[in-house]
Chain A
Amino acid sequence: MSLIHTENLTKIYGSGETAVTALDHVSIKVKEGEFVAVMGPSGCGKSTLLHLLGGLDSSSAGKVVIDGTSLAEMKDDDLTKLRRQKIGFVFQFYNLIPVLTAVENASLPITLDGVRPAEARKRAAEWLERFELGERLNNRPDQLSGGQQQRVAVARALVAEPALILADEPTGNLDTRSGDEIASLLREVTKKYGRTVIMVTHDPRIAAYADRIIFLKDGKVIDETILEKKNGKNADLLAGKMKEIGD
């Protein structure tokens, strides 16, 4: 059974002559526990797709269904609640609150959900320890490296135990090594902790960590590839594909 699926999802920015179609009748399905990468050249609509999946933006036509509920019919407060409880986000620029410590940042979603601070802290600390940040619980973001900050962000995405993690270019701001770390961390999230991850990236090496790749171009799904083995060759394969569709 699919955790999340879209039906003819369409997003048009602007109107009249200046209208731009960012997504054009996209229908995809993602199963529980799957690690899906969305790839495509700049402006193909991959980020827009992610925003619509997360209920951050509203669609022009079509719908997004999570766990049998269509997002289009939800009010802002309900959407907020859905994001808080069912979806975790990882952004390119980490987006940690600069004035809060690592553990405070990681515990934000459940604190917002009304979990008692001591309990929230405990749960956030557990995730940070799993991600080898046990020593840095009380450091502020500016005292952490980029890779460490992104790991805090992943911990934050997982702390509320959501079924779905949406990652928008999670390695875009990192060096190669840290990027690999984060990508394998996300893989671990699906395999070890059973979460579903949808990740947008344009980096074939990072996408190669996923189970399945969805290729987007000009707002349309043009190809899908299921990766059997996670090795270096996959990356070459994907790079070739990207070149093919005109990156």
Chain B
Amino acid sequence: MKLQLTLAWRYLKGRKLRSFLTTLAVVFGVLIIFGMNIILPTMLAAFNANMLAAAGAVDATISHQTGGSFPPEVADGLADIDGVRAITISLNRVVNLPTDFVDDNPAITDRISAVTLIGIDPETARSLRIYQIQEGGRFLEPGDTAVTVISQSLADAYRVGLGDRIALPSVSGVVDLTVVGILPTRTVPGNEEVLVTLPQAQTMTGQEGQITAIDIALDTTDETERAAILAEIESAAGDSYTIGSLQPGSEMFASLQMGQIAMNMFGVLALFMGGFIIFNTFRTVVAERRRDIGMLRAIGANRRTITAIVLIEGLLQGVIGSGIGLVLGYWMGAGIVRLAEAPMNIFLNIRMGNPVVSPTLIATSLLLGVGVTVLAGLIPAQNAARVTPMDALRPTVAEMETRHRMGAGAIAGIVMIAVAIMALLTGETSFIALGSLLFLIGLILVAPLLLHPIAYAFGKLTALLYARQGIGDLAHGNLTRQPSRVVITASATMIGLAIVVALGGMTSSLSDMLNSTVRSSLGSDYLLIPPSISVWSGDMGSGPELTERLQAIDGVGDISTLRFAVTAINGQSISLIGINPETYPRVSGLDFLEGDETAYEALAEGRAMIVNGSFTIALAGLEVGDTVELATPGGDQTYTIVAVGSDLLNAKVVTAYISQANLAADFNRTDDVFIQFNLLPGVELESVDSQIKEVAANYPQFTVLAGRGYIDQMLELVKVLFLGMYFLLAFLALPSLIAMVNTLAISVIERTREIGMLRAVGATRKQVRRMVVAEALLLAAVGTAFGILAGMYLGYVIVKAMGVMFPISYMFPLGGILGGIAIGLIFGALAAIIPARQAARLQVVEALRYE
């Protein structure tokens, strides 16, 4: 084994540049997979940290399975269970704070962007938790109104002391609370807590007679006994309730997960390309070392030894590449977590901890990286074992493949492409998705057939460019001489560019869709927007008073609001958006995938709901006309699905729309979290603007925007988002560059003798350089042509797949195609630089002597 290792290591060291480039391919794939998979667990850990902080010394917390509120009667009887030492009820609510609400100073970055409002029962709460009130203050007492206990750190942020007042938004406008007690500085992660009495919290959140948690302390530490007691508590509370931590992050967790899946796909593609590159390299390595291998066989190495040498070389590269990938991936993951810290804090009220790396993730990433490398090396290694001792003795003859006839592979490829096109015609998403895979493989298989004409056509072009020198023809000849090698490189380029074109197609379709949805969803004259518009649960809404006062303003027309609650179907958490079926379609509107405007009437008439695309994916099998049981604080309620449709704000979260009347009756929620309205025809904005702002001033949780301005702001955001996407695309095309540089460098090394001969018979350095560049451009052209074909198909598939969620139609990705061509050719030229210089620099005599 030691010999194999020594040989592998020395060979790798001998060709530093190539080893570097191929290893880089592995590094890249592992980097993306590892880095991206750090992010989600880190965010999850941040959630849990918040939750743990809330749990404190409590043995068990009972909450509704939806995470929503429920009547306090549930707690009755739990206290009588044997083994329960103490019990207390509370209402917890995260309150997102508007920008600069706490410090009133735009110059200082907001440290506090949200607080958790906790309504407690002062008497029972103290039997579960210890509240260390600092000297001079006191704890809450039953019957207190408009007083609070906060921590020293929150007091510092508000710049208040004992007896001062802090402001908080509530459903009925800003409420001032007098600080009567101060707790020690908060040291655990999570939101700062604002402690008030339970009735106070219920009033402020508009959830009269509701609680969200029952905390229980047990009087034993024996694990078996505790388990028995907890089981009894669980059965006493009933099916709708869960013991354990709250799950408020689920809606945003789902969208993060989507992102992670997408990034993992990229990572796998990158690794796939890495595998391709390594396969190609090893094939050449084996060809190059035919003589060495033959000699080893001659002096007594058996086939297994030869296979082992090549595989160990692959293993070495895999291990080194994966190792570097892990390190860089960690940096990338940690970097993104750092970058995300500020926006996460502001928009989602999560404080991030250190990057979380699970041993499983390390193992999986390593396994993938090393596995792909070794797999890619397998076929070349077996080829190496087939080298006979005779090969050591034969004079080297440049390998000449003459496989122009139709092989079985090409026929299979044509069949695959035909099937893929048929799948496209069926319009069935799952067929088309499968078709995309067939299409890619089919293209790789028929590539040898197409290579000749394509290379010929482009060869003519380059021959024209380098007229009189015959170099274009030479380059063309060099490529067609070894179709399989070229096909492998062109395939790597193809996959890289296919991704670019596909995502280009997707982004242009998506941006088209977004632009129109932005206009229809947010096209009203005025918008009142909460701090977080994607995750509603932390937004403090407003009571009916606000809309009533707005409506009273002369000139204000229809008002539409969104209300929010959470529910669950068979344990799957779902966001509920309450709309006013009458005004909503007039001010805003859903884009329907199934059903039409008549669905709004159905909402008004009974327990009916419109669901969005994410819903139909998450709960596959449910269709329009089906009935489902929604978990509510008062037990399950039966709702009928009447249509599938989505608005912009809730598209990516599993959402159902019901009427506000039903939301109030079944979920006790009546606060508006998002308000939009139109002005009556002919009314000038200027005439009502000041009145509207005045009314809204008491509700700092909302930012007032005149609609058009907001649309521009959103479109700008979309643009930035897409810029990021394009950046990512360029990043993904990088491995193709590596693949191309690799193949070209190898083809130069292989033909060292030939190039020496060319120089000997009178080719100038410039001519040799041009020949190599022409070859690179040809290679790029072939890869690009294939890539664009495959990319258009893939793009169509992606758009089709997204059509399940959004109303989106395929746009011809002209930009993506132009970008693809540009990237392909620029990379082709770039890839040629190193090998071309190498080739031109060769000393004639040395080149001729080259073995």
Residues of A within 8 A of B (CB): 47, 51, 54, 56-57, 76-77, 80-81, 83-85, 88-89, 91-93, 95, 97-100, 104, 108-109, 111-113, 117, 156-157, 160, 168
Closest 5 CB pairs of A and B: A84-B300, A99-B10, A95-B295, A56-B389, A80-B302
- B3-17 interface (Cβ within 8 A of A): 3, 6-7, 10-11, 13-14
Q: Could you tell me if B3 and A109 are in contact, using CB atoms closer than 8 angstroms? A: no
Q: Are A112 and B300 in contact (CB under 8 A)?
A: yes
Decide yes or no: A97 and B300 within 8 Å by CB, A47-B393, A57-B390 being known contacts. no
Size bin of chain B's contact surface: 20 to 34
Asked whether any CB of chain A lies closer than 8 Å to the CB of B296, the reply is yes
Q: Please indicate the chain A residues that have their CB under 8 angstroms from the CB of B303 in the complex.
A: 76-77, 80
Closest B residue, CB atoms, query A110 = B300
Interface residues of B in 274-311 (CB under 8 A from A): 291-292, 294-303, 305
Is B392 an interface residue, CB under 8 A from the partner? yes
B554 at the interface (CB under 8 A from A): no
Q: Which of B2, B291, B389 interacts with A93 by CB under 8 Å?
A: B291
Contact of A56 with B299 at beta-carbon distance under 8 Å, contacts A99-B7, A99-B11, A112-B305 already known:
no
Check B7 against A83 for contact (C-beta < 8 Å).
Answer: no
Q: How far is the CB of B246 from chain A (nearest CB, A)?
A: 62
Chain A residues positioned under 8 Å from B291 (CB to CB):
93, 95
- Is B388 on the interface with A (CB-CB < 8 A)? yes
Residue of A nearest to B302 (CB): A80
Q: Could you tell me the distance between the alpha carbons of A92 and B295 in the complex, rounded to whole angstroms?
A: 12
Q: Does B123 contact A (CB under 8 A)?
A: no
A51, B393: Cβ atoms under 8 Å?
Answer: yes
Q: Is B851 an interface residue (CB 8 A)?
A: yes
Instruction: Determine how close the nearest CB of chain B comes to the CB of A222; give it in whole angstroms.
Output: 24
Q: Are B292 and A95 in contact (CB under 8 A)?
A: yes
Separation in Å of the A144 CB from the closest CB of chain B?
Answer: 15
| A92 and B395 alpha carbons, distance in the complex (Å) | 10
**With A51-B390, A112-B305, A117-B2 in contact, is A81–B7 under 8 Å at CB?**
no
Give 1 or 0 for each of B341-366: 1 = CB within 8 Å of chain A CB. Answer: 00000000000000000000000000
Question: How far is the CB of A167 from the nearest CB of chain B, in Å?
Answer: 12
Q: How far is the CA of A160 from the CA of B299 in the complex (A)?
A: 10
Most buried by A among B7, B301, B388: B301
Cα distance A49–B801 in the bound complex, in angstroms = 67
Given contacts A100-B7, A112-B305, 15 further A-B contacts (CB under 8 A): A51-B390, A56-B388, A56-B390, A57-B390, A77-B302, A81-B302, A89-B299, A91-B295, A93-B291, A97-B295, A98-B292, A99-B7, A104-B6, A108-B299, A113-B300
A100 to B297, CA, bound (A): 16
Q: Which residues of B contact A168 (CB under 8 A)?
A: 393
Interface set, chain B 534-554, CB cutoff 8 A to A: none
Closest to A77 in B: B302
Which chain A residue shows the least CB distance to B3?
Answer: A111
Q: Indicate if the CB atoms of B300 and A56 lie closer than 8 Å.
A: no
Residues of A within 8 A of B302 (CB): 76-77, 80-81
Smallest Cβ distance from A17 to chain B, in angstroms?
20
Assuming the contacts A56-B388, A111-B3, asked whether A80 and B10 have C-beta atoms less than 8 A apart, the reply is: no
Q: Is the interface of B mostly helix, strand, loop or mixed?
A: helix
* Chain B positions within 8 Å of A112 at CB level: 3, 296, 299-301, 305
Can you list 12 residue pairs at the A/B interface with Cβ under 8 Å? A51-B393, A54-B298, A76-B303, A77-B302, A80-B297, A81-B302, A95-B295, A99-B7, A99-B10, A112-B296, A117-B3, A157-B299
Q: Which residues of B sit under 8 angstroms from A109, Cβ to Cβ? A: 299-300
Of all chain A residues, the one with the shortest Cβ separation from B305 is A112
B395 → chain A, closest Cβ, in Å?
9
Which residue of A is nearest B292, CB measured?
A97
Are A80 and B7 in contact, with the CB atoms below 8 A? Answer: no
Question: Do B300 and A91 have beta carbons less than 8 Å apart?
Answer: no
B residues 291-334 with Cβ under 8 Å of A?
A: 291-292, 294-303, 305
A71 to B295, CA, bound (A): 19
Q: In whole angstroms, what is the CA distance A97 to B14 when docked?
A: 12
Min Cβ gap B388→A in Å is: 7
In Å, the complex CA distance between A95 and B296 comes to 9
Q: In the complex, which of the residues B299, B305, B393 contacts A83, with contact meaning CB atoms closer than 8 Å?
A: B299
Q: How far is the CA of A89 from the CA of B298 in the complex (A)?
A: 7
- Shortest C-beta distance, B471 to chain A (Å), equals 32
Of residues A88, A91, A92, A99, which shows the largest number of chain B Cβ atoms within 10 Å of its Cβ? A99
Q: Which of B294, B299, B388, B851 contacts A84 (CB 8 A)?
A: B299
Q: Chain B: residues with CB nearer than 8 A to chain A? A: 2-3, 6-7, 10-11, 13-14, 291-292, 294-303, 305, 388-390, 392-393, 851
Contact A80 B393 (CB under 8 A): no
Please give the distance in Å from A83's CB to the nearest CB on chain B: 5
Tell me which residues across on chain A come within 8 A of B297, comparing CB atoms: 80
Nearest Cβ on chain B to A156's Cβ, whole angstroms = 7
Return B6 CB to nearest CB of chain A, in Å: 7
Q: How far is the CB of B306 from chain A (nearest CB, A)?
A: 10
Once bound together, how far apart are the Cα atoms of A89 and B390, in whole Å? 12
Complexed CA–CA distance, A84 and B300 (Å): 4
Contacts of B7 in A (CB 8 A): 97, 99-100
CB closest chain-A residue, reference B851: A93
A99 touches B300 (CB 8 A): no
Min Cβ gap A54→B in Å is 7
| Contact, CB under 8 Å: A91 / B393 | yes
Closest B residue, CB atoms, query A57: B390
Give the complex CA separation of A76 and B14 in angstroms: 31
Min CB distance A49 to B, Å, is 13
In the assembled complex, which residues on chain A have CB atoms less than 8 Å from the CB atom of B300?
80-81, 83-85, 109, 112-113, 160
Shortest Cβ gap from A149 to chain B (Å): 12
- A93–B302 Cα distance when bound, in Å, is 22
Contact of A99 among B13, B296, B388, B393 (CB under 8 A): B13
Which of chain A's residues has its CB closest to B11's CB?
A: A99
Given A54-B298, A83-B298, A109-B300, A95-B6 contact (CB < 8 Å): no
**Once bound together, how far apart are the Cα atoms of A51 and B297, in whole Å?**
13
CB distance from B213 to the nearest CB of A (A): 68
Residue of A nearest to B14 (CB): A99
Measured between beta carbons, the chain A residues less than 8 angstroms from B294 are 95
Closest to A116 in B: B2
- A72 nearest CB across to chain B (Å): 16
- Give the most central of B13, B294, B300, B302: most A CB within 10 Å: B300
Distance from B280 Cβ to chain A, minimum over Cβ atoms (Å): 21
**Are A100 and B393 neighbours in the complex by a CB distance under 8 Å?**
no
B12 to A, closest residue via Cβ: A99
- Chain A residues whose C-beta falls within 8 Å of the C-beta of B295 in the assembled complex: 89, 91, 95, 97
Residues of A within 8 A of B13 (CB): 99
Contacts of B298 in A (CB 8 A): 54, 56, 83, 89, 91
Asked if B301 and A56 sit within 8 Å, CB to CB, the answer is no
Which residues on B sit within 8 Å (CB–CB) of A117? Answer: 2-3
Q: Which partner residue on chain A sits nearest B303 by CB separation?
A: A76
Complex Cα distance, B389 from A171, in Å, reads: 20
> What's the minimum C-beta distance from A174 to chain B, rounded to whole angstroms?
14
Q: In the complex, what residue of chain A is closest to B301 when comparing beta carbons?
A: A112
Q: Which residues of B contact A98 (CB under 8 A)?
A: 14, 292
| C-alpha spacing A57/B851, complex, angstroms | 23
Whether B2 contacts A108 by the Cβ 8 Å rule is no
Kindly list chain A residues whose C-beta atoms are within 8 Å of the C-beta of B301: 80, 112
**How many whole Å from A103's CB to the nearest CB in chain B?**
12
- Chain B residue numbers with a CB within 8 Å of A77 are 302-303
For B296, list chain A residues within 8 Å (CB): 97, 108, 112
Q: Which residues of B have CB within 8 Å of A51?
A: 390, 393
A109 to B298, CA, bound (A): 10
Tell me, in angstroms, the Cα distance from A89 to B388 when the chains sit together: 15
CB distance from A87 to the nearest CB of B (A): 8
A44 to B340, CA, bound (A): 77
- With a cutoff of 8 Å between Cβ atoms, the chain A residues found around residue B851 in the complex are 93
- Residue numbers in B under 8 Å from A81 (CB-CB): 300, 302
A80–B304 Cα distance when bound, in Å, is: 11
Q: Which residue of B lies closest to A117 (CB)?
A: B2
Task: Report how far A29 CA is from B851 CA in the complex, Å.
Answer: 36
